[in-house]
Every structure is written in C-alpha cells, then in structure tokens.
Chain A
Amino acid sequence: MAFNIRADDLVENPTPRVPVSLCIDTSGSMAGEKIRELVAGIGLFYDAIDEDDDAHDSAEVSVVAFNSGAKLVRDFASIEGLQRDITITPSGLTHLGEGVNLALDTLEKRKSLYSDTGVLYFQPWLVLMTDGQPNGDKSELERAIERVTRMVAAKKLTVFPIAIGSDADLAVLARFAPEQPSLRLKGIDFKEFFEWLSKSVAKVSQSMPGGEPSINFSSIRGIEDL
C-alpha cells in the first residue's frame, strides 16, 4: 500500500491559499465561439497556474455556471487535484443572481474548511463573467449584490465583474463593484484576460497573506475601461 505525505493535499500543503471562484454565464447567447473561447481561456488559466511556481501551491479554483439556474461545475481544488476538462453546452436564461449566490455559498464552505483545518488563505477572488441581462429571480439578484458588496466592503472578497461583448448589462455589473470600474472584454479575448488573472494570482501567492495585494487593472491589455 502506498502512503503519501500529500495524501490530504489540503492540510499537508502549508502554502497559504488564494481561492478563485469563476462564476460564468452559460446562457444560450454564449453558444458558439464565445463559450469555446471562454472554456479555452479557463484551460489556459489552469496551465498558467500549473506552470507558475508560486501559484501552483496556492491557487484553488472553482467554477460555477449559471443559465436557467446555477450549477457548481467544479468545486474548489488545487491545480493538482482538479479535473481540468470542462464541457459546457450553453442554453437558457441568465440567472446571474442565483449563480453568484451559489459561488458565494461554495466559497463560504471552503473558507470554513480552511478555518477548521488551520489552513491559511488570502482574500478570495470572485470573477463574474456575463454577456447579457440578468433575468432570474429579482430578489436573488438583490441578495447576491448585497452579499458581494458587503464582503468587498469588509475586505473579505475581491470581485472582478467582466462584461463579455456589447450586450452585457454594465449597470448591473457595476452594482457588484461600486468602487471600481466594470470591465468589458474587447471581443472575446479571454486569453489575455486569463493570462493576466493567473499572473495576478501568482503575484498574490508571492506576497504573504495579510497584506493588501495591489491589483493593477491598467495592466490588462485587451480590456477597455468604461
């Protein structure tokens, strides 16, 4: 029988974690090239984390997809522990509020696991990507916005609302992050965004937890500021 000191990667890895929650729109409008590029972008994100010495041991990524409902596609896991292949068939509506709430619930669970086992972590990240107008339950959307803004204000979350294409509802996205400009992807250039994201994760992992990682939005090329 083989025993491995990394049998339980969560507790045997002392590196402080950076939990990153990707909350992505998989409604019908994302079908075609958009979703292919997005999934490819996530794959590239995984690769970049894997290759980076610092991010490798610290990043933990989850993926939540929302359309006519919300689904946890991948729960938080280290780059070695996670299943990288993701297949998504876009369809249905844009239940953005439900998606964000599920992403936050998943994050809360992970945080309590960290706390229970004595694992250190940095301020978690929520990346919210949509190409449309939210049309789920109104109260769910309000609840999601309230939760996110409350956590951001308490420095318990860093949020990146990303608009995909010109139909995305920037006004709603802006409500998630009133203190920072919302970002709109130019075309469907996910590659550059995820490259930037992985570099930022690496940068946070290099620093020591407790500090305020500076995030330089202006360094994102291929994204225009609105």
Chain B
Amino acid sequence: MAVRELLDPIDFVGPSGRLFVDTSVFMDDRPDRRGGLKALLQRCGQAILLNSNPIVIPIDVVEELTKQSRKVDPERAEAIRRAGVAVGFIEDAAALGLVRTDIGHDSKHYADSVFEAIFTRYAKQYDMCLLINDITPLLHVRLLSHTSSKMLVAGSLTSDGRIDIESNQVLYERGVRKLRRKQDEGDAREVAALSPLLADFKGQFGTSEPADRRSGLTVLRSPSPASGVRRRAEPFDGEAAFRGADSSLSVGTIPSVGHKVHFTSPSGSGSVVLDELLGEGGEGAAYAVDGDRVVKIFDRDHVTHHRRAKVEQFASRNLFSEGICFPEAVVTNDAGEFVGYMMPRAHGHEFRVIMNPRRFLKAFPGWTKADLVDVCISFLEKVSYLHSLNVIVGDINPKNVIVDASKNVWMIDADSWQVDGYPCPVGTPMFTSASALGRPYAESLRTNEEELFAIATMLFMILITGQFPYARTGSDGDIARLIKDGNFAFQVGERSNRDQPEGNWKYMWSHMPRALKEMFWNTFHRDGQRYTSPPPAEEWLRAFRQYRWWLGSDKNFDPMSNDVYPFRFKAFKPDTPILECSQCHRPHALVGEWDEATQEHSTPEMCFDCRQQNRPKCSDCGTPRPEGALKDGRCRDCNRKRDYGTCERCGTEKPHRYLIGGRCSKCQLGTCKTCKMPVLKSELTYGRCGACERRAKELDPLRLCTDCRQPFIDFEHIEWFKGKGLDVAKSHVAIKKQCPPRTASTRPASAQRPQGVPRASTTTTKQAAPKQSARSQANLWERMKKWWNV
C-alpha cells in the first residue's frame, strides 16, 4: 500500500463536492509548505467560480484566527503575525467569491469539532475534503470514510496546492504519539477524545489490513484502495418507488455441483465449475468456486425478475468492501439464463453462535465484553456503509450475518436486500418492528425506521448473547404481542420494571454504560423518545466506539464489567469496595453496599450466589429461601401450587378441595329439572335453566280463565297442579287471583257473571281487597261443590 497519496483539490469544488480549510493550515509555518494556499487557489479558483462552490472556512476558524491575531505575546510574535495575515487573506478571498465563512459556529466547541459535526452530518451527501494538520480530525475522517459511499478525505496542504493523504499506518502512529503527549500533559479532554478513536482505528485498519484476496480470479478486478481511502461508489436511488410484485423467470437447467456456469461483470466474464456445495438455504444453494469465491444458485422457484434486477444492479457498480458479500457477477447457465450470482466468500460462523450462551462459550471461549463490542462495531460499519449506498438490509437476523474469530463481520444474502425499489421479500418476526408486523414482507418497501429497529434488536442481542429485548415475565410466548406491547423490561435509572426476565440477563444489562442503556431503553420502550425513530447506524457506531474506549479506560472501575457473563450487579461507584468471596473465592464476587445511615460501605461475607446456596431450598422448585420461609419444606408459591388448582372452565384458582371434576363450584354442572339438559349449577334458578325459568313465568296462552277469557296461569303453576296429580285450575279465582280490570265495552258478553257482582272495578281500594278476596273464596267453593254434585 502506498504510504501517501496526493490528490487534486479540484475534485472537491465540483457541484457534489465540498472543500474545507482549518486554522492549522493558515498557521503552518513549515518552509516546505510555503505557498500552499496560493497554489490551491491557482489550481481550483476557476472551478470554484464556475460552480459557485467556494472553499469553506467555518466562522469558528475565522474567529480563532482573529483571536490569535489580537494576542500580545512577544514569544509568539510570528504566529500572531501569521494569524493577522490569514484574516486579511480570508476577507479578500471571500470578496472574490473564492471562500465562504458563513458556515459553522458553535462557540462551545473548538474549530476541529465543527468539522467533525459537518462531516458526520453530510457524509452521505457530498464528496468532502478537509485541509487540516491536526491528527484527531484526520483519524476521524478516515474512519468515517470507511462507512460512507462518498469520498471523504482529510490531509495537509502541500506547497503546490495538493492534498497530502497519509496512509492508515502513518496516521495511526501520529495519533498514538499525540495521545502519549497528551497523557503526559494530563489533558483529559484530548485523551478522552483520542483514545476511543485510536482503538477503533486500530481495529479497523491496524494489523488486519486487507490484502487483495482476489488473486484467484484474475478476470475480476475491483479497484483496491491504495491508501485506505474508499473510492466513491454511486449510491442507489434512495427514493425509488416500490416495484410491485415479483414474478418468476423461466429457466431450463438449474446447475449443481460439477456443472459449469458463466459469469459476467463489468470487469470481465468467463466460466467456472461449481466445486463444492457449501450450504443449502430456503432460496437456493451456495457453491465454492475458484477457492475464495462463492456462487449462489437459486432454486427454480426463486429465479425471479427482482432477483435478477438486484444482482445486475450490484454487479454493474463493481462494489467491493471487506466484509460485505456484494454480488460481483451475474451467473447464467449454458443456455444463458439467469440462475444466480458470484460473490466473495465469507468466513466464520453465523451470528447464531452468539445468540446462545452455550454455543457462544463453545465458539469463542476466551472472549470478553470488549470483543462483543468490537463485533457490534464491525457489524455497524458494514450496515452503515450499506445505508450510505441506500441499501436496506431488510431481513436482519442471526443467520444473515457472519462473524469470524478475529471479530470481522460479514454481511451475506445480498439478493434479499432492498435496493432500487425492489423489496426484501423475507423477514424474521423477532426483528420486525411493530409497524411492520402482520404485513407480508414482499408486498411493500421497508422503511428506515423498520430497518433501524432490527439493528437495535441485533445489537442488544449481541451484547447480551441472545436474549430478546422484549423477553419478560408474564407473557404467553407470543413474539408479535411482545413487540407490539413495547414493554421493554430491563430497567434503567428510576424506571424499574417488575417484568424483567429471570436469569443473569439483568447483570449483563447492569454492567452496560448508562448512556447505552438509555439508548436501548428509549428505542425499545413504548414511552422512550426514540421508540418511533430508532437511532441510525452511525449514532450507534459512536455509542459503541465510546463503549469500547470506556472499557479500556480508568472510568471502567468495576472489573466485572469486562466479563461477558457477570454474576452480580455493577458496583455503584468507583470507591465501592470489590472483594473476593470468602466461600467460592471467585475474584470481584462481592461488592460493598452503601449504608445511608452510617455513611459507609458494609460488605457482606459472601457473594450473592453463595448466600443463596447456603440457604434452605424449596423441595419442589429448588429456589433458595430465607430461614423460616419454608413450610413443610416448600416455599409459599409451591405450597400454593400444590394446594390450589385452576378451574378448567373459568380459570379461577381454587384450593383443590373445592375443585370437583376439575371445576370450581360455580362451574359445576347440574340438570335443569324441566328440560333435563346439563346446565351450569350457578345458572340454575329453582333447579331450572334460564330458558325454562323464563318460560315458567310466562302465562300459558292456551288456557283461558273461565270468567274473563284471558290467559291467567303460568306454566310453573300448571306444572305444580300436574305434579300433585290435580286438575289444573280454570280461572283466576281458582288460583287466588283476580280477573284483570276491563271496561264494559271490551268484556265479552259470555263473561257476565250470574251474581252480577263486578269481579274487579277501577274503584277497588286497598281496604276493599280482603273482602273481595273472601268473596271469591266463597265463590270458588260454591262452584266446586256444584261441579262435584253434577
């Protein structure tokens, strides 16, 4: 790799570019750099005016120079003079339209952090160049360039007006020297900014510089980065409309092992033999070819228009990026029909090995938390780069991401990615946001937010080795429900949650830095501020780089925070005593507990696990309980489980003795005495079901009172007579009731009583009632006597 590279500034004053100059360039008094600014304007002055795209000198830079120029310090006379000259230069150049000073301004920050803000914000929009001598922004821009599709560079200005781009190695060494210097000076702010940056930089570029692994395929050539600067790649159309439903392509032979296939790419074409079957998935099979390349051949059902279009789109752009299996060439069968694509071969394990402690410990036995954070960073860099190309991964899940023992992450399954309006047709419920659940994946485009939800879920599950963010107690296992509820049960700060799942997950969560916990909480909890707008990949990237730095810094005071599986909560403060347990002798196993009353730490004798282990255990569930909390050797819950059962019908919990045939007393079955049907006992009234009971109260419409010719007796009463073996009464009077009052006009003539006494009248009063009743009594007996005499 070249140690340095000289770029022409003219590349950054075109319409899609931006050129920035920092204070340090104006203050650079090295003789070999003399005349650089003049040469710069000579090189690109015309283009600047032509494109109306002046060089950006942020207002902060101008202010800093002005401030410098006004100082009085005989020892720094030359620097003060230079600053004054620079201010004049800028004023004149601005008047000519060659520079602009209207950008920036944030008085709290140094000028270099203004550049950081600008570059981070516009990394996806412009090709940007920063002329600067300070190492920290140089490192930052180089790192940023790794996850951007735009050309982002930073370097010093040569005397002939070109940009001096140094290699990763040189930059890194400069950074380390500066860090040491700042450490010696005790500059905490600089150290805090530089340390995580350098750690990242080393992880990204340091020892594992990508060699050109493409030697096996000489016909396929991609531009390989000479000085670590990623070449610009044309992003896909981020606004492309949904292309509609996919449809099959007709295809004759689906090639398999031993078959020859043909590949075409912008950089060449040829034929290869499918060597070895690497794996089969739901959509097709992957074969090794030529050692370090893979050809994916689709099943017949998955040879579709969309897949062909996506593969062609990717291959035509000649994309290459370590860790991303971009389709490089379209693969066809002997008949020239599309059957698959060629890509780099990913090495390592599927992310699934991280998603379960048993598998994780088997695959990566020596890993610490820092290694998992590195995996997150590597994953985020890949995703962030894909996003800068307007590629949505779509089906982010533990099978589509590969990790090797050096913590390099590979993104595979490019043909499912959403690009250019072609949807990602597949998905995984666990990684699907509430808004996308229940909607067929292939029928619409994923939104950014849906993608970012999946990323947040993946990050959480990497750090905590597999636990689902929405796992909580009291659920019936329905994933979609859990996601929709948005009840993120891991607690942070004052936000406690009783549904936190059992197990060591709470300890793992506890040891994360507070800021990261807040980010997760706000993303996952329905009350969180990022619930509907999850953090983008670059924001996570910053947080995880910070986490990585924090782990190695002296701010990380609890040694257990470095463990993947801590077995206690994080120590509260740096001065909290952390001790070995006297029983199990595990180091750092116990921490002091702060006592407000005595204003000092009290340290328990043993760690939590040992205290638990020494306690008596419930004979049913095995849970350790405090002395005296067990009854008959069992805990309260287990005693209750033993003594109580659930009614199989209504689900109420009742003591077993009250459950008969599995049902509680309310749900017992009885028989309706009228219709003889089985009915819940609780629904019987006087032994009858609801329907029969209602009917019992109804008057029989067919039995009319012999006096008033109106229905007069209800079914229940009729049954009573029948039950006693008696004849059913025939009139109101016979059942001690009165005929209803009626007007003369409506009374049928036949109903005229021989006695001529009105049975009831509207003038009936309460006082008259007993009398009347006695009279009807007499009538009844009289009439009965008559019938019997007949």
Contact = CB atoms under 8 A, between A and B. Distances in A.
Contact of A143 (B429, B478, B662): B662
Contact of A13 (B358, B565, B567, B646): B358
Interface in B466-484: 466-468, 471-482
A114 interface: yes
A3 B609 contact: yes
Contacts of A13: 356-358
B636 interface: no
22 contacts: A1-B610, A3-B584, A5-B504, A6-B357, A6-B358, A11-B503, A12-B357, A13-B357, A13-B358, A14-B356, A14-B357, A15-B355, A15-B466, A111-B477, A114-B477, A115-B473, A118-B501, A119-B471, A120-B468, A120-B475, A139-B661, A210-B429
A39 B357 CA distance: 32
B267 interface: no
A5 B357 contact: yes
Given A12-B503, A53-B359, A143-B662, 20 more contacts: A1-B584, A3-B567, A3-B609, A5-B567, A6-B357, A14-B357, A14-B465, A14-B467, A14-B505, A15-B466, A16-B468, A57-B356, A111-B476, A115-B473, A115-B475, A116-B473, A118-B471, A118-B502, A147-B648, A209-B429
Contacts of B183: none
B761 interface: no
Interface in A153-167: none
Interface in A86-125: 101, 108-109, 111, 114-122
Interface string B330-352: 00000000000000000000001
Given A1-B584, A5-B567, A143-B661, A12 B474 contact: no
Interface residues on B, range: 35 or more
A120 B502 CA distance: 12
Interface in B257-280: none
The SS class assigned to the B binding surface is loop
A187 B500 CA distance: 50
A81 interface: no
A209 B479 contact: yes
B664 interface: no
Given A108-B646, A115-B473, A116-B473, A210 B478 contact: yes
Contacts, number: 106
Contacts of B610: 1
B707 interface: no
B615 interface: no
A60 to B, nearest CB: 12
A33 interface: no
A210 B480 contact: yes
Contacts of B357: 5-6, 12-14
B502 A57 contact: no
B471 A120 contact: yes
A3 B610 CA distance: 10
Contacts of B479: 16, 120, 208-210
Contacts of B584: 1, 3
A140 B496 CA distance: 45
A119 B501 contact: yes
Nearest to A118: B501
B489 interface: yes
A32 interface: no
Contacts of A117: 473, 501-503
Of B356, B429, B482, B583, which is in contact with the most chain A CB atoms at under 10 Å from its CB? B356
Contacts of A12: 357, 503-504
A1 B583 contact: yes
A14 B358 contact: no
B365 to A, nearest CB: 12
A115 B474 CA distance: 5
Nearest to A109: B641
Given A121-B477, A208-B428, A143 B358 contact: no
B477 A11 contact: no
A8 interface: yes
A116 B610 CA distance: 24
The SS class assigned to the A binding surface is mixed
Of A16, A115, A208, which is in contact with the most chain B CB atoms at under 10 Å from its CB? A208
Contacts of A111: 476-477
Contacts of B714: none
A120 B472 CA distance: 9
Contacts of A101: 662
Interface of A: 1, 3, 5-6, 8, 11-16, 53, 57, 101, 108-109, 111, 114-122, 139, 143, 147, 208-211
Q: Pick the 9 closest A-B CB pairs, nearest first.
A: A118-B501, A210-B479, A11-B503, A14-B466, A121-B477, A117-B502, A14-B467, A118-B473, A11-B502
A49 B573 CA distance: 46
B24 to A, nearest CB: 50
Contacts of A209: 429-430, 477-479
Of B474, B567, B662, which is in contact with the most chain A CB atoms at under 10 Å from its CB? B662
Contacts of B504: 5, 12
Of A15, A147, A210, which is in contact with the most chain B CB atoms at under 10 Å from its CB? A210
Contacts of B397: 208
Of B499, B503, B609, B613, which is in contact with the most chain A CB atoms at under 10 Å from its CB? B503
A213 B67 CA distance: 70
A118 B472 contact: yes
Nearest to B621: A113
A161 B610 CA distance: 47
Nearest to B473: A118
A118 B429 contact: no
Interface string B502-527: 11110000000000000000000000
Contacts of A5: 357, 361, 504, 565, 567
Contacts of B697: none
A208 B429 CA distance: 6
Nearest to A156: B476
A101 B482 CA distance: 29
Interface string B347-377: 0000010011111010000000000000000
A209 B357 CA distance: 19
Nearest to A7: B609
Contacts of B489: 118
A119 B499 CA distance: 12
Nearest to B476: A115
B436 to A, nearest CB: 13
B586 interface: yes
B650 to A, nearest CB: 13
B358 A57 contact: yes
A1 B567 CA distance: 15
A161 to B, nearest CB: 20
A108 B471 CA distance: 20
B475 A118 contact: yes
Nearest to B399: A206
Interface in B569-617: 583-584, 586, 609-610, 613
Given A108-B646, A139-B661, A15 B356 contact: yes
A53 B362 CA distance: 13
Contact of B477 (A3, A8, A120): A120
Contacts of A115: 473-477
Contacts of B641: 109
A163 B505 CA distance: 44
Of A11, A14, A143, which is in contact with the most chain B CB atoms at under 10 Å from its CB? A14
A11 to B, nearest CB: 3
A15 to B, nearest CB: 5
A154 to B, nearest CB: 11
Nearest to A12: B503
Contacts of A16: 468, 477, 479
Nearest to B501: A118
B567 A118 contact: no
A121 B314 CA distance: 39
Contacts of B478: 209-210
A176 B479 CA distance: 27
B434 to A, nearest CB: 12
A53 B355 CA distance: 12
